Structure 1
């Protein structure tokens, strides 16, 4: 594995270890997204992240996590009476490439090379069948993300084509984004004596130089011993039911399968529309984008393993291939 990827993981583990030491219980998740799982190597090609989600935060907690939550308590639902509040931090690197990575000067009507490295700070507020999430994304796009070095070294390691066009990637620019997501358990029931099902609509909105737009979707999940987990999103935008927010470990096996669809209205999406404050390559995002995800989740005690695939409609007009990727997530509750 490339040195930059190892550095990212070490830095991520250091971040979540410090957070856990401050707040005690919680869950650590490692997530990998890659288009290798869909036999392609274009557009959104890889994402890797390390995340930590706290246990429920009480008003009396005099630690960094508690003080951080109180600082943001002016946000709707956060630390409100009747709501359970949770905090999460994640370190993520994303990588985007054009259709043909062997071209030294990729076509300017194809998705530009870009790497994004960021920290997400998320506050969750849960009450009954509702989950609200406020997310602050801070990071950098450009060579400082290290994505080009990671892909070149990884392709060298596995003997794959050497990407030739990273010198044309988006330039260095800070990334700042604020997002809000809400999920609602709209319906649930049983199938036969043991199987269960649930239906969860979701909505999201974001503003910033990474993503500005809105979205909405719904997923259905069925399985055995379903836990009280409302999925939010994967690293990029795929649906994901393997949430650890407010989830308690169970001694019984929990197995579930799910599928969902969503649509996004896009005003600005950094990997396609380019940087805002410096000249860069770009293509124009489609104003309306559809996606579908399906996958499975396995839980036992503090362990969670999930796998899903996500498929997008064309994200820009001159796109050669669809943006498809797979997501693998491994979580452990402390």
Structure 2
């Protein structure tokens, strides 16, 4: 499973300096799927509330393949396929001497496939992931080496010895949403989603966008923050603001096991703000997300930041 991390690193030059995909859409009569988009999103609490704890870091990479993409989701299941890889780190608040009532460290890698389509103006996402957890992923080694590189304190051996153990979780994901225009520049999209596998939960919420950046593009939702990130660069230039709220009921979580010293908090809430900026030779997204407590012993909520940028030539 460590190939996912290597894949992420190999893709960084393409990710930052890839050519514009404005003219990448295949014709409507093309039967073969073609690569029409690539997107990424990096999330870290150090660019949020400036701490290193709990939902501390993640990186998403998405490749979109489609038949005859024309700026709208097709009706056929499978005409648009997203391949997504992500890595995620979860840690206790103190990386050296954690409290006995804090959550365990977890290193996570996942590879999944999703199809995006619409029926009668309702937008659907159906997907499946294989989620790998534990020391087998090598995520703990990555964080240790990175902390040493920047002169920060790495996780102690006691923390790593007590991390969530090796396992694999086949996971299913589904979302339904519908978008309504509010005037000339605003649109709101209520949604509902479910996840079953590494975590089992149901969620409802909405996203409000003011501005045209991202319109007629495929936006995909980050698992941790709920931020919807761009996989294409074919819409209007300018600035868009994003605001979202959602609430979830969590039945169980592999990252907060029943046998541990902490107990799962079944209700979760997220609130997010973001700004998309699109210019001739570059794009930038920065967002902040409030994440409510995920276990009953967690003393407070946290705020994480999310970042995406691209330079085109």
The interval holding the TM-score normalised by the smaller chain is 0.7 to 0.9
Paired residue secondary structure (1:111)? coil
1:239 correspondence with 2:226: yes
Consecutive unaligned residues of structure 1, counting only runs of 5 or more, are 59-77, 191-195, 275-279
Answer whether contact 2:47 2:305 (CA < 8 A) is retained: yes
How far apart, CA to CA, are the structure 1 residues paired with 2:211 and 2:127? 29
1:27 correspondence with 2:27: no
Consecutive unaligned residues of structure 2, counting only runs of 5 or more, are 16-23, 25-31
How far apart, CA to CA, are the structure 1 residues paired with 2:54 and 2:145? 19
The answer for the alignment partner of 1:44 in structure 2 is 55
The answer for the alignment partner of 1:223 in structure 2 is 211
How far apart, CA to CA, are the structure 1 residues paired with 2:143 and 2:218? 33
Q: TM-score if structure 1 supplies the norm length?
A: 0.77
The answer for the alignment partner of 2:303 in structure 1 is 324
RMSD, aligned α-carbons? 3.2
How far apart, CA to CA, are the structure 2 residues paired with 1:157 and 1:248? 34
The answer for the alignment partner of 1:184 in structure 2 is 178
The answer for the alignment partner of 2:194 in structure 1 is 205
Deviations 1:204-229 (A, max 9, x none): 01112x11110000121112466134
Aligned residues: 290
The answer for the alignment partner of 2:28 in structure 1 is none
Answer whether contact 1:229 1:241 (CA < 8 A) is retained: no
Q: Map residues 142-291 of structure 1 onto 2, 5 A cutoff.
A: 142-164=134-156, 165-190=159-184, 196-208=185-197, 210-224=198-212, 227-229=215-217, 231-234=219-222, 236-244=223-231, 249-250=234-235, 252-273=236-257, 281=260, 283-291=262-270
Deviations 1:115-158 (A, max 9, x none): 11110211111356432001101031000111110111111011
Paired residue secondary structure (2:255)? helix
How far apart, CA to CA, are the structure 2 residues paired with 1:180 and 1:281? 29
What is the Cα deviation at residue 94 of structure 1?
0.5
The answer for the alignment partner of 1:314 in structure 2 is 293
What is the Cα deviation at residue 298 of structure 1?
2.1
The answer for the alignment partner of 1:68 in structure 2 is none
The answer for the alignment partner of 2:6 in structure 1 is 7
Deviations 1:252-277 (A, max 9, x none): 41310011110000001222237xxx
Deviations 1:34-55 (A, max 9, x none): 1111211100111112210123
The answer for the alignment partner of 1:193 in structure 2 is none
For residues 205 and 301 of structure 1, do their structure 2 counterparts lie closer, same or farther at Cα, with a shift above 3 Å needed? farther
| Selected match of 2:94 from 90, 94, 100 | 100
Answer whether contact 2:38 2:62 (CA < 8 A) is retained: yes
What is the Cα deviation at residue 281 of structure 1?
3.9
What is the Cα deviation at residue 187 of structure 1?
3.6
For residues 88 and 231 of structure 1, do their structure 2 counterparts lie closer, same or farther at Cα, with a shift above 3 Å needed? closer
| Selected match of 1:116 from 108, 111, 119 | 108
For residues 202 and 232 of structure 1, do their structure 2 counterparts lie closer, same or farther at Cα, with a shift above 3 Å needed? farther
Answer whether contact 2:74 2:118 (CA < 8 A) is retained: no
Answer whether contact 1:85 1:126 (CA < 8 A) is retained: no
For residues 331 and 133 of structure 1, do their structure 2 counterparts lie closer, same or farther at Cα, with a shift above 3 Å needed? farther
Deviations 1:234-261 (A, max 9, x none): 1x332324333xx6714x4131001111
Paired residue secondary structure (2:104)? coil
